[in-house]
Structure 1
Amino acid sequence: MPETVSRHRDAARIAGTVFFTLLAYISIGLPLAVIPTFTHLGIGFDVVIAGLAVSLQYLATFASRGLAGYIVDTRGARRSVLLGLILLVLAGILTAAAGALATAPWLALAALLLSRLVLGTSESCTGTGCITWAIGLVGPARTAQVISFNGIASYGGIALGAPLGLALAGGHLARGLESVGVLTAVLGVFGFLLARTRPAVPPSGGGASVRFWRILRTVSPFGAALALASVGFGVIATFITLFYDQQGWHRPGVAQSGPFGAGTALSVFGIAFILARVFFVNQIGRRGGVTVTIASLWVEIAGLLLIWVSPAPFVAVLGCGLTGAGFALVFPAMGVLAVDRVGPGSRGSAIGAYSVFLDVSLGLSGPVLGVISKGFGYASLFLCAALSNALALGLCLWLRRGLPQRG
């Protein structure tokens, strides 16, 4: 009974901490389906610019991972989270400004791109801080559980935020983006005030600086597999609404609100992701991180290929669900292996370094796939993502030869 009580107490502490990740990712999800259509159809910029507008957030997250890890390891995880929530408020203000400036396209684009940079930095500080904060509260033995809970908060936030953003936008992209920005700022203020009441933990590095690039090199084999596997999420997040437009599944510029619309596809991705983490995360400890990743990649590849050949919206939604379920365990399965290879004093930097590979993948996939779509259409992007996952599968098969079966 004491062990059961301890597990429940630790789960409550983890959930209370990653709640701030949930707030951040609701804010990330809110504009996700609105930005491509606002940029391309609302203010008239090229589809490559629309892809860049989404991906710039991930590039900013990449650039700020080292800073976030340094803050966590030397100043404490709660301070990193508080900074992330302040930046979330600023990102919301800039997003609202972009909507308000829709009649001046270049000014609107500038405000939007700046908001993406700020939001990406907020994501880095909040996400890295929450994981390390929770590990500090419950102990390193719960690392896989912490990473899984944080991922549930992340993609659950996107699953909640994406359809809410579409509902706020309706048929009025500019006013909808203003509403999205205001709600983002409100969530940031609420999160900041709440986080200030939560107990802090000592810096994981005891106040000492770390060499981020050395840690980056240590975790790179696992991060490379994550990067290749993340292209599937990147193409769904960035191009699913434009894919629906091209397929003629709803009127241009307005994501379908029906049962199999683009917003539903994003939500199903997030829901499948959450369910897979809830029911299968224990398989990481039982079967090993690499083995779980290999099985997950097969599922993700199947989902992406299903979207590629989908003849109707409900098939695309099913493909998004399989992709979300497959992608769900890749991050924690590879992440536990990565964190195990650095000392406990550099835990924040290790999480930040490992997450860099996700950031690079999502940051580059938008503009690169946008260029591909101009020549081959949006459906081809899901085939490209499946091929990327196949490369990740090959890398994991190679890694398994040199690692123990248990992760």
Structure 2
Amino acid sequence: MKLLLTLDKKLRSNLLILFAAGLLFWCSMASFLPTLPLYVDHIGGTKQEVGIVMGSFAIGLLSFRTRLGKFSDRRGRKIVLLIGTLVVTIAPLLYIGTNSIYGLIAIRAFHGISIAAFSTAYTALVADLAPEENRGEIIGYMSLVSSLGVAIGPAVGSYLVETAGYPQLFLFASGLGFVSILFSTQITNPPINSSGQKNNKSKFWQLFADPKVRVPAIILLLVGLNFGSMRTFVPLFIKSTDAGLNPGLFYTASATAGFSVRLLVGRAADRYGRGLFVSISLILYVIALVNIWSANSSQSFLISGAIEGAGLGMLIPMISAIIADRALPEERGRMFGFCLTGFDLGIAIAGPVLGTVAEEIGYRNIFAFSAALSCLAFLIFITQSSKDVSHSLRFAFGRGQDLYALNQIDRNLTTKHSQS
């Protein structure tokens, strides 16, 4: 945290305002996690309808993530931030008085646009603002907003429902979004390099042909599948055992570990390289899933939750830093959008895809299957993360540079020019 005191006053102010906007945004979003399923049940929805309403969030998220990422490259991050905060302000008000399941599905899909806009623009803007030599550390600190929001929002949301009722919850969530708008209007948006836009016309899915973007996206897809499986099946698995553990404590352990790791990993990655910590995060995911597969006690589940949280808390900032290192400012939005869509898609399909697998092999063995997916992600990263297997291994274990990083490319070009 001492780094913030050394930054230019204007830059520090910009980052702090952005952090405040992000915290309010995520508190508003997270307040619906424990309460919206209860609201659907409250108006007479079935268990299946609860799942459909909650899952419809992915419609807006997946449909708009890529478009808004590209839009942020063309028009600036600030306008996309404002779109996200505007949606998170309007959507809660639409829930008031809505007693139709179809109406809730439509509102929830609209609500999903908020994350598609805000998280993409937020990540790209942090990368734009952060000095290159401290990029990993600043991304690590700024990524704390989601962890803090998910820790605060559900508790406040549940309290409001119990003491005041659902309309007050919706008004409160909308109010948080409105204050987030006010903070977002005060952010200084870095100028867009319009000269680079003519080189940024390729279709979005053509990014999949580019290994510097494709490999991080595949890693996030596989981790997203595992993340989604844990959020879907861990409570059911704990209930099926004799552990006697409140499933909420599993997620508390995960969130606490993730928060702690994010405070430390960014600074270390600036010194030792991003690849090493991506590798460590994937190994932690394998260990966590194997531990869940073999768990029979509350202690085993809590340890597994902490390991999983540490893995995810390390992975997301590091992938973000890698993409920031590899992208020009005028293409960061669409590249972040592409990679984060991999994570979104993994979460969205985890329930139906792995649920089908669980029907055949049971809840316990689904985590062995997920551990195998994490092993696959690890193998892909250590062999495909750079221009060939040799350089990939060196980058993945902190023994070599990221050859796709723009500063590294610039140095290579300078060296070749001097030799010629």
Instruction: Place the TM-score, normalised by the shorter chain, in its bin.
Output: 0.7 to 0.9
Matches within 5 A, 1:82-93: 82-93=82-93
What's the counterpart of residue 267 of structure 2?
A: 282
Matches within 5 A, 1:73-112: 73-97=73-97, 101=99, 107=100, 109-112=101-104
| Paired amino acid for 2:280 | A
State the identity as a percent: 20
Which consecutive residues of structure 2, in runs of 5 or more, have no partner in the other structure? 403-420
Cα separation, partners in 2 of 1:8 and 1:313, compared to 1, 3 Å: farther
What's the counterpart of residue 256 of structure 1?
A: none
Q: Does 1:25 align with 2:21?
A: no
Deviation at 1:127, TM superposition (A): 1.1
For residues 157 and 350 of structure 2, what CA distance do their matches in structure 1 show? 22
Preserved contact between residue 236 and residue 266 of structure 1 (Cα < 8 Å): no
Instruction: Specify the SS of the correspondent of 1:281.
Output: helix
- Greater mean alpha carbon deviation, residues 240-249 or residues 154-163: 240-249
Alignment TM-score, normalising by the size of structure 2: 0.79
| Paired amino acid for 2:77 | A
For residues 380 and 159 of structure 1, what CA distance do their matches in structure 2 show? 29
Deviation at 1:354, TM superposition (A): 1.7
Q: Does 1:155 align with 2:142?
A: no
Preserved contact between residue 137 and residue 270 of structure 2 (Cα < 8 Å): no
Deviation at 1:228, TM superposition (A): 1.0
What's the counterpart of residue 203 of structure 1?
A: 192
Q: Deviation string for 1:290-343 (max 9, x for gaps)?
A: 322121112122223333333344432332111010111212323333333333
Q: Does 1:406 align with 2:407?
A: no
Matches within 5 A, 1:1-400: 5-7=5-7, 9=9, 10=11, 13-35=14-36, 43-46=44-47, 50-97=50-97, 101=99, 107=100, 109-169=101-161, 178-203=167-192, 205=194, 208=197, 210-211=201-202, 212-218=204-210, 219-247=213-241, 261-374=246-359, 376-399=361-384
Q: Deviation string for 1:93-137 (max 9, x for gaps)?
A: 244445xx2xxxxx2x32332233222211121112222333344
Cα separation, partners in 2 of 1:398 and 1:72, compared to 1, 3 Å: same
Instruction: Specify the SS of the correspondent of 2:296.
Output: coil
| Paired amino acid for 2:367 | F
For residues 311 and 327 of structure 1, what CA distance do their matches in structure 2 show? 23
Deviation at 1:201, TM superposition (A): 2.7
Cα separation, partners in 2 of 1:309 and 1:160, compared to 1, 3 Å: farther
**Larger Rg: 1 or 2?**
2
For residues 376 and 50 of structure 1, what CA distance do their matches in structure 2 show? 25
Q: Deviation string for 1:120-161 (max 9, x for gaps)?
A: 211121112222333344445544334323422122211222
| Paired amino acid for 1:309 | S
Alignment TM-score, normalising by the size of structure 1: 0.81
How many residue pairs are counted as aligned between the two chains? 385
